Amino acid sequence: MRTRYSEDQQAVAEAFGDLFAREATPEAVRAAEAGCGFDRGLWSKLAAAGAPGMAVPVEHGGGGASLVDLAVVAFEWGRRIAPVPLVEHAVTARLLASLAESGAVDTALAGAVAGGEPIATLTLRPAGPDGAAPLVPAGAVADVVAGLRGDALVVGRDEPSGVARPNTAGLPLADRDLSDAGILATGEVARGAFDDALTEWKALMAVAYAGLTREVLAMGVAYVKQRHQFGVPVGSFQAVQHGLADAATRAEGARLLAFRAACAVDAVTDGAARLASMALLFGAESARFAADRVLQYHGGYGYSAEYDVQLYYRRAAAWLLQLGEPAAEIARLAEADLGPKRPKAA
């Protein structure tokens, strides 16, 4: 049992932490927002560093790292709210590699995706029976889109539009058409493979949320130490301190739960999907709480476009909503833990 990074993980965190700090600056995030929410230069550098396929088995062209190692990178990605679809791509790459294992996917495609080109993504919500998949994350930039169509797991390959639907966080969301996408599996096999990929997405996004929260809190702490009112730093006011302390407490709880979930998913432990879902919900909630406190304690500047906290505030809400309503996720957890709802007697 070890709840801290190993030395290797520490090294990975530092290497990618440096890369994201250098390349995914707030200016780069703003520039991406002005376009379709994607920074191709950054993506190439990540691909060169082996990030997109790092947790894909070596025999399928990946780096053979564990899901937890990938989570270490996702944390750094989240800290910088980097405008590249790292998590969607990475879980789709793992899905394709596992399907290549059974021959359902061309190994050349799986290998190419593991290398970072073409860009791949996952529809988080099943497409309609007609193949319409609305608001697909990274849908504006991904060539390869995997998802459920009815009870079939399908993969489509299409030139992306490069245009995102305008949205609150400048994310590369776009509608995709999976009507022509090839069927890889059907029935329970399809559902199981898709659910596994989705669980991985939840665990990794939970960790990414912990990264976002870490950074927005650091921003808040730096600001309240330096901003003076009434002749003293605003960070010496207890009301401000206690709001930040509550946020930091939830943030630490969320970080621990997220990594615990990632470890459980990695080890295929019973209850891993439940933990991943809980970690995502709690991660999103604590990110929103922290971003809200930090924006508040910036006063008017927090609301200005010039300061960075607003970039985090909007993403704190947006990342989870790509999956759908939080209430629906909670309802799924309730179904699993409390049993199905009984219909009201007529």
Partner 1 sequence: MDFRLPAKAEAFRAEVQEFLAEHLTAEMIAATRDGTIHSPELHRAIADRGWLSGAVPAELGGGGMDPVELCVLLEELQLHQAPADALGVAVVTVSMILEHGNDFLRSETVPRLLSGEALGCFGYSEPESGSDVAAARTRAVRDGGGWIINGSKMWTTLAHVADYVLLLTRTDPDVPKHRGLTFFVVPLDTPGIEIRPVSTMGTERSNATFYDDVRLGDEWRLGEVNGGWNVMKTALKYERGIAGGQFPSPPVIEAAIDWGRTARRADGTRPIDDDAVRHQLVQAMIDVEVCRSFAYHTAALASEGEMFGVEGSMTKLFASESYKKHCAWFLDMMGADGLLTHDDPGAHMDGRIEEHFRHAPVTAIYGGTSEINRNLVAEGWLGLPRSR
Helix (H, G, I), strand (E, B) or coil at 8: helix
Comparison of 67 and 169: residue with beta carbon closer to partner 1: 67
**Shortest distance, position 67 Cβ to partner 1, whole Å:** 11
Comparison of 238 and 305: residue with beta carbon closer to partner 1: 238
Comparison of 127 and 290: residue with beta carbon closer to partner 1: 290
**Shortest distance, position 233 Cβ to partner 1, whole Å:** 6
Comparison of 51 and 272: residue with beta carbon closer to partner 1: 272
164-177 b/e (C-beta count within 10 Å ≥ 16 → b): beebebbbbbbebe
Please give the span between the terminal C-alpha atoms of the chain, in angstroms, as a whole number. 53
Token look-up 């399928």 returns: 60
Comparison of 32 and 278: residue with beta carbon closer to partner 1: 278
Comparison of 47 and 281: residue with beta carbon closer to partner 1: 281
Q: Are 57 and 107 in contact (CB under 8 A)?
A: no
* Tokens representing residue 18 in the block: 């440096």
**Shortest distance, position 309 Cβ to partner 1, whole Å:** 16
**Shortest distance, position 148 Cβ to partner 1, whole Å:** 24
Which residues lie near partner 1 (CB under 8 A)? Answer: 1-6, 9, 68, 217, 221, 224-225, 232-233, 235-238, 241-242, 244-246, 248-250, 252-254, 256-257, 259-260, 262-264, 267, 269, 275, 278-279, 281-282, 327, 330-331, 333-334, 337-339, 341-342, 344-345
Comparison of 116 and 283: residue with beta carbon closer to partner 1: 283
Burial of residue 35 (number of CB atoms within 10 Å: 0-12, 13-18, 19+):
middle
Write the CB contacts of 256 (distance below 8 Å, at least 6 apart in sequence).
3
CA distance 224 to 4: 29
CA dihedral 287, 291, 297, 301 (to 10 degrees): 170
Token look-up 């659910």 returns: 195
Comparison of 38 and 75: residue with beta carbon closer to partner 1: 75
Using alpha carbons only, what angle is made at residue 250 by residues 19 and 196, rounded to the nearest 5 degrees?
65
Q: Are 51 and 16 in contact (CB under 8 A)?
A: yes
**Shortest distance, position 333 Cβ to partner 1, whole Å:** 5
CA distance 276 to 70: 15
**Shortest distance, position 165 Cβ to partner 1, whole Å:** 29
Amino acid at 16: F
**Shortest distance, position 286 Cβ to partner 1, whole Å:** 9
**Shortest distance, position 121 Cβ to partner 1, whole Å:** 27
